[in-house]
Amino acid sequence: MGFDLAGHCSYIREVMKKVLFLFLVASCPYWVVAQHQFSGHVDASFQEGQVYLSVVEDYRKISGVYPEQILQKTTPNSDSFFSFQTNNLPSENRIYRIHVDTCSEDDQNINHFTGHCESSKEILFVANNRDTLSLPLAFENEMFCTVVSTNEKTRTFLKIDSIKNEMRYNFGTYRSEANRKMNTEKWFNTLQDFGVELNEPLAELYIFAFLSDRANNLHAYYLQDLKSNDYYDGLLARLKQSYPSASYTTQFEAELSADKFLVFGKEKKQLPWWVFLVGGIALLSIVGNLYFFGKTRKNKTEKASVVESLSNQEKKVLELILQHKTNKEIASEMFVSVSTVKTHINNLYKKLKVSSRDEVISKFQTGV
């Protein structure tokens, strides 16, 4: 039997081409368009529902149903399987939500607009445009309880949720003021330390949104913690380093600045003192310095007095105005009507002696 040299060489060339192709793909991943795939199964009760993929750019809307966040929607197939696959997601990690609901079209118009949908289930996760993520059914066909992903940061929210559930249990074991205070301090430190250990600022934002939520009892402790804990400045630095151009960073910086003003604006701040070297300092210069710092002290005292005179609702409205929220967004966060918000704003304008939002923002940004 003769040896087919030409055929053998042809075979070798084909093998080498395939090896070269695999090498190029492996060594130069950016030559290939990045493509994610998020898939999973829904249980029988959601077989006829719709599945949505959303990107969460506002961490105050981290849970719920918001039409402006939705990227794609799909319908489970006959095996209850769904999949999202495109190449248009950011290359950086972002917060994403997959939720499924069985709302009718009319119900969607109402529930999705308000952010609440009773007949829905959701899961939050961290991902980017190169990730493959699977959501298989867990024990007793429970969905959205297990995550399998190529991104090690994807499961961070599930880990945090397990700690939050343990925290809720501790708070509920005995309802007393002493138990509440002890657990508040303990869990603030526990959650913050855990967030740093995860080495993912987006996970820390998830924790921050929970601990600083104005709707829960932890908010008052958060404001006290803000006075002495440098954790929040550290989180801002980590966000700026990892996500310098993301909306999360801008939002957190504005919110932190507004919260600090509400905390420290109530306290009378000490004026800086000056050490004058022995020398010939003109009397006019001394008088000028005293006049300038005296005026600054008066402005700060007046501002603190005005903030102190505001009602709790007016303080909340001021805080949200400083975050550049619209009347509609303020009404949504405070669970009041737009007309009520307008009334608070008018009262706020009178006490601050201003006539517009821009004047309010300018007043607190410039310290005038």
Q: Residue 207 — pLDDT band, cuts 50, 70, 90? A: very high
Q: Residue 22 — pLDDT band, cuts 50, 70, 90? A: very low
- In this predicted structure, the answer to whether residue 359 has a pLDDT above a threshold of 90 is no
Residues 6+ apart with CB under 8 A from 335: none
What does the radius of gyration of the chain's CA atoms come to, in whole angstroms? 28
Residue 145's CB is within 10 A of a number of other CB atoms, namely 13
Provide the H-helix boundaries in 243-282: 247-264
Q: Residue 256 — pLDDT band, cuts 50, 70, 90? A: very high
**Residue 205, CB-side half-sphere exposure with 13 Å CA sphere:** 32
Q: Are 246 and 92 in contact (CB under 8 A)?
A: yes
Q: For tokens 């130069």, what's the residue?
A: 28
The pLDDT mean for the chain works out to 81
- In this predicted structure, the answer to whether residue 3 has a pLDDT above a threshold of 50 is no
β-bridge pairing 50-56 and 70-74: antiparallel
Residue 289 is encoded by which pair of tokens?
């310095």
DSSP 8-state class, residue 277: P
Identify the pLDDT of residue 249.
Answer: 96
Identify the pLDDT of residue 332.
Answer: 87
Quote the pTM value: 0.62
- In this predicted structure, the answer to whether residue 291 has a pLDDT above a threshold of 60 is no
- In this predicted structure, the answer to whether residue 196 has a pLDDT above a threshold of 60 is yes
Average pLDDT over residues 137-166: 90
pLDDT tens sequence across 80-120: 999 999 888 999 999 999 999 888 766 666 666 666 677 78
Q: Are 180 and 217 in contact (CB under 8 A)?
A: yes
Distance set, CA 185 to CA 9, 227, 328 (Å): 73, 14, 34
